[in-house]
Structure 1
Amino acid sequence: MMKRFIFFILFIITVFAVYLWQKRPIDRYEYFEKGQKLEHFNGLEFSGSEACISCHEDVYNQHIKSAHYLSSTIPSDSTIKGIHEGISDSFKIGKHHSYSIQKKWNGFFQILKNDSISKIVREDKIDIVIGSGVKGQSYFSWEDDKLFQLQTSYFVPSKQWINSPGYKETIEPKKRPISVSCLECHATFAKMTSRKQTKNEFNKRSIILGIDCERCHGPAAKHVEYQIKFPNDTIGKHILKQNQLSRQQKMDMCALCHSGSKTKKPNTEFRFVLGDTLDNYVVKDFRSFYRSKHKSTVDVHGNQVELLEASKCFKKTASMDCNTCHNAHAKERGNLINFNNKCINCHSSQKINCSLPSTSSEDNASNCIDCHMPISNSNSLKIQDNDSLVQVKVRSHLIKIYETPTDKITQYINNL
């Protein structure tokens, strides 16, 4: 009898331990982990960005603070912005219900509550945070190997929890499936399971969160292996470098995610790497998009490449590309002095005659960005904030002399 009792107790403890293990907070390394073998579709292996630290520590430490790196990450007190900065702790959905995000001992959860009877209706675990928190954040949740978007999002400008874009203003019985094309601009790599029974079924160990070193420089295991063997070789082997690429190749790397809607060829997600030609992966030539009959639809959100390529600054220089103004390794957002200096560096030999009234001409001459790349309302990126539909504001990458601060970008593009 005693043996049976001890066996029963051990069985209960084992079951409870397994339950706790399954419910434990997910860390970044439950996905791809340094030292794990993971091949890109081109046969090259990933090393993990931590392998870059020994030679590129300063660059790595800058990059982990950037919006690129934080475009997808694990949930924590620091990555879920709304928990500490939100002006409300929930948002109403329908007449009697509300959604909120709550922290528990085993992670973060989306809670659906019936407020009229003060009862929790459903809990969904947050497994991945999507969005760096500059404009907003959404949250993904696993069901076995299937990935879904939750109904709650956070809108940074108003510091409020909102209904995720695309969801109806009612309680959705089903969560939205996340396809591999959604991950392509928010993660470094991901592979679907071999079963492919659904479009949102992934091999978790293949997922590299964030836009990491190897997203822009390519899988680097061979490079790391060589450098460990030959640490004094400073040339750098088995890795693509920016100075080896044409301007169009550099632009294509950014255009993968910053060139608006593209119809991609089947099964091409995550195949593109630095040095490729993007036209090999899309059905139509995205570079002629803003010159086509659809040019009036070019929006400030997600079409940075088209707008930059339509600018005289780009057209009149043979070398200008995205990296001329942006350091992809660093957190630069909001540093207008830095970007204004980039303008002055190219225009220092010219006499700048600013037409805006000012007590000092130098005030205007040193603030190029706000006038020539104004923050504008997006027509494609809108969110439901309380009872109104709000256009999200995005800085334009069409560099030009604007007639007024509210001058429509499409009016200029239509005259190209």
Structure 2
Amino acid sequence: MSEQAVSILATHPWVDTAWWDQGKRAILVRPSASAVAVRPVPGPLLIEHLEHWRHVYEYVYSTTEGRHGDDLDLSGWRASDTGKPFSRDHMIEWVQHAVGLVLRDKPRVVLELGCGSGLLAHRVHRSTRAYVGIDVAEPAVERLRAQALPGVRVLQGAAHELTSASVTSALREATGDDTAAPDCVVLNSVTQCFPNEQYLTAVLDDALDLVAAGGTVVVGDIRNLANASSFARWLETARYPDSTEPQLTARIADRLAADEELLCDPRLFARIAARHHRDIRTTCYAKPFHDDTELTRYRYDIVYTVDRPAPEPARTIEWSTLSGYRLRAVDLTREPTLITGIPNALLDPHAPDAVRPAELAAAVPPSWAVLLDSADGRLLAAGPPEHYHDRDAVRGNDSTAGCNNPNTTFVQRRLPEILTDYLERELPTAATPLIAVAQEPTVP
């Protein structure tokens, strides 16, 4: 029977090869490259992964829990350590920060991938000529459409459909211009739902191709791979405060291995920019929120600036030479200045002159920003973001900096389910053997 089952499974279009493993007493399968491909079109297993997240968010948005009003729907926003909703004030600060990144360069046309319930749309559209939002979750799309915000178009779709005819048509309708390109493309708090690094890269390539010269691509609220172990330790310690070190170490390893969300090293974004055909500057923002949560500690924002002349060089001052809060004694308006090497008190509390991001934000001029000065967020920088250049947080020459691969875990779980159903239809009277994925799928 096993030989017959292997033969049948080998003919499935999502399977490259199948064989019986006597030691495991299972049929092992290797997914076909086309099933997990990103280009030229997403393969069926990749689509299955995206559909999984669509169902998750359609459920989230179909409930009323966390909904404070049309312009503040906080459904699904819960802290990992407590399971409780983030405070309303904390989330308002989160929204205002994201809106500030989008509107910093005064875009006229904004295109948002993953617009959700409209947390940004409700605030961005007032300052723009046109806003187009795209989301996979039908309840969110229908609700935002029904609110009929002026100058706003909303359509259902996935991130890889950025260059589709429906998006082009929505931009044309919103602007009244057949050739209009967005001045800002936004992906805020959506990359964690992407299947893998290849998908992220493809979407960002499309966004960088599409955005108007001088415009920006804002990739917001990214989970940081460079400090993922720190986050896992923080979380497991909060959940199991009495754990021994060996127990804690095991829980950390299990959490990292089982994470279903995409985590990205900030240096990946500089590498993507460096190989693109356009002239792109990469800036990495810290989260300067007052509440000490995972959103403040373990997430960051990337802003790409596309085809814009580089500003004059800035002077660089090391934080250690200022003895911390003597920052106020420095003339920060005399010439462009970047303060670097600032220990982040949330992640490195014992470092001399460490400071919290929120305290730093309050101490610098309004036109400045709190930035990452190391990929893991343990060091911060502060200054005009247009002068942020080639910092350690985003040096693009580290080929090892990338993402985890939640699609591998998804395929290892989902493909055997699909093939078991397939085999039961093809051999309805036979006992179905165990099926497992042999190795990570190879993405072309």
Shared fold, TM over 0.5: no
- Higher fraction of helix: 2
Q: Larger relative contact order (C-alpha < 8 A, sep ≥ 6)?
A: 2
